[in-house]
Amino acid sequence: MHLIELHEIVKRYGGIPALDHVNLKVNKGEILAVLGPNGAGKTTLLKIMAGIEEPTEGEIYYKGRKMGDDYSAFIRQRCTMVFQKIIVFNTTVYKNVAYGLKIRGLPKEEIDAKVHESLRLVKLEGYEKRPARRLSGGEQQRVSLARALVLEPEILLLDEPTANLDPKTTSIIEEVIRYINKESETTIVIATHNVFQVGNIAKNIALMLNGKIGEIGTVEEIFYKPSARLASFARLENVFLGTAKISPDGTSVIDIGGNVRIEAAFSKEGRVAVFIRPEDIIISMKPLKSSARNVFKGKIVEVLDLGSVVKLKIDVGKVFTVQITKRSFREMNLNIGSNVFIAYKASSVSLV
């Protein structure tokens, strides 16, 4: 059964299309990942589904019923969206999570029980009296998620829910997503540019680029049979298409073009799509003496400051994204144009 259907949705801002005739069906009880780079239109798509934005053209159906001007009020009783930019109120964790329940007029005992359960799910038990804005970024994101979960929505929309978070927090959030989908049959749509995360959470994927939905299918259909459209997603972080051959050591050596060959710990031949997490790549000013099978010399071509971490685009024949702490960035005195070496282990190369 389709919970939400979007038919020929167009959204323009000042005449510029952010969504271009998008058609999408979300099944009840599924986890759907909308995968695409920044600027693809993922956030706009979620905002329209949540009733926060109105489409310029097109139709929305909910459980087969065509929605009209009352869609915004209708869907907000059934849907909650968690934004990439963390928003917490300047009060305690308890009051943040209880906010929506109080608006709905629930009795205090019921609110207490629901808030406690939501905080337990996101592993923030005992945080009720803490000021929300004094928590770490990862903890604040978990408060935002708890505030959404406490409303027990039919559909939960998540916009890059783990962007720039530490691995521990990312793991907790992914675990919660899987749990509520399984236990409560909550329908979840997650917008992400993280290819690696998709396989951890979702079963179905919608590829999105330049405001359009390209392909829709299962993880296996999209990634295990690399297509020309998937190749256009190479600008996602460290996703590469190439031809693999098995080496005498039993590893795979993958030619990804640009005179760059990657060694991977798996044994597979033929066309493959691979992924290397930005956090798994080490950067140095001199060649590293390590067990890493993949070492390349390149130049920094882009620097993105994300607060506590910095993302670097490094051209070694192919452009790799590397994530380091701001402290390391400063200590190495790096900048655009700096010549550096990158290294990562064969075990860090994953098939997607």
pLDDT digits over 156-203, tens only?
A: 999 999 887 877 888 899 999 999 999 999 999 999 987 767 777 888
pLDDT of residue 233: 58
Q: Do the beta carbons of residue 111 and residue 53 sit within 8 Å?
A: no
If one compares 171 and 153, the residue with the highest pLDDT of the two is: 153
- Quick: pLDDT tens for 302-317: 998 877 888 999 999 9
- Quick: pLDDT tens for 34-57: 998 888 899 999 999 999 999 999
Q: Could you tell me which of 52, 50, 60 has the C-alpha nearest to residue 10? A: 60
Please report, rounded to a whole number, the percentage of residues in the chain having pLDDT higher than 70: 95
* All structural domains of the chain with their residue ranges: 2-222, 277-344
Fold of 2-222: Rossmann fold (3.40.50)
pLDDT of residue 227: 56
Q: What is the mean pLDDT of the chain?
A: 90
- Quick: pLDDT tens for 227-284: 555 555 545 678 888 899 999 989 999 999 999 999 999 998 998 888 888 888 999 9
What architecture is domain 277-344?
Beta Barrel (2.40)
Altogether, the residues listed in the chain come to a count of 352
pLDDT of residue 234: 46
Backbone angles phi, psi at 112, to 5 degrees: -55, -45
pLDDT of residue 277: 85
- Quick: pLDDT tens for 123-146: 999 999 999 999 998 899 999 999
Three-state secondary structure call for residue 4: strand
pLDDT of residue 288: 77
For residues 95-114, give the mean pLDDT: 94
| Position 21 pLDDT exceeds 50 | yes
pLDDT of residue 74: 92
Residue 334 DSSP symbol: -
> What whole-number distance in Å separates Cα of residue 304 and Cα of residue 262?
25
Q: State the pLDDT confidence band at 13, using cuts at 50, 70 and 90.
A: very high
Strand-by-strand arrangement of the 309-315 sheet: 282-284, 339-344, 294-305, 309-315, 319-325
